[in-house]
Amino acid sequence: MPATRLLAFDAAVLDPADAASVAHLAVCAATPWPMAGSCAIAADPLRLPFVEALFDVVIVAAILEATDAPGVFLRELRRVIAPAGRVWLVVPRRRLSLGHGVPGQHFSRARLERLLVEAMLDPVGWDSFGSWYLISAEPRGGAAVAMVGRVGAIRRVTV
């Protein structure tokens, strides 16, 4: 079975003048991961340093609300996802802003659907748990694939 090419996001806000934080991230990025072929990079999520259609699965958990340009970010995800790939998003629901303390934007389902469609990503699965949405989407024009098993069972590999 070929390895799944997975891109998973985490966020950090770094001040370039904060040498300790920048050095720590550089050490993390240079540290070998448990699996051969895995790595960490620091990159602008609005201009990812990857060729088109590289990844089979993209996981974005609690990142969309932190970006100033969620539509641009979703279009960039569309650019790097393979035609038969799947994007998984965990996004705070609009009602979360009513006292739950999660910073950033909060989204209604209608707004998320509009952003996804504008980015040429078709939402194919919606679930909500507490104040969060779990959304799966596939690239428009790409072949649909069935995800078998849990997300945690997908092997992590990188370019």
What six digits make up the tokens of 35? 């699996």
Please report, for residues 14, 26, 27, 57, the alpha-carbon distance to residue 89 in angstroms, rounded to integers and kept in the order given. 23, 27, 28, 11
**DSSP type of residue 94:** G
CA dist 39 and 58 (Å) reads 15
Q: What pLDDT band is residue 147 in, cutting at 50, 70 and 90?
A: very low
CA dist 92 and 27 (Å) reads 31
Please report, for residues 43, 67, 107, the alpha-carbon distance to residue 99 in angstroms, rounded to integers and kept in the order given. 31, 20, 15
Judge whether residue 51 has pLDDT over 70: yes
Q: Are 131 and 97 in contact (CB under 8 A)?
A: no
Find, among 104, 103, 110, 105, the residue nearest to 135 by Cα: 110
Between these two residues, 114 and 11, which has the higher pLDDT value? 114
Q: Which pLDDT tens digit goes with each residue over 124-137?
A: 999 988 888 999 99
Average pLDDT rounded to a whole number, residues 134-151: 63
Count, in order, helices (H) and strands (E) of the chain: 3, 5
Judge whether residue 109 has pLDDT over 80: yes
Residues of the chain above pLDDT 90, percent: 36
What six digits make up the tokens of 124? 């194919």
CATH of domain 6-10+44-153: 3.40.50.150
Q: What pLDDT band is residue 95 in, cutting at 50, 70 and 90?
A: low
Domain boundaries, the chain: 6-10+44-153
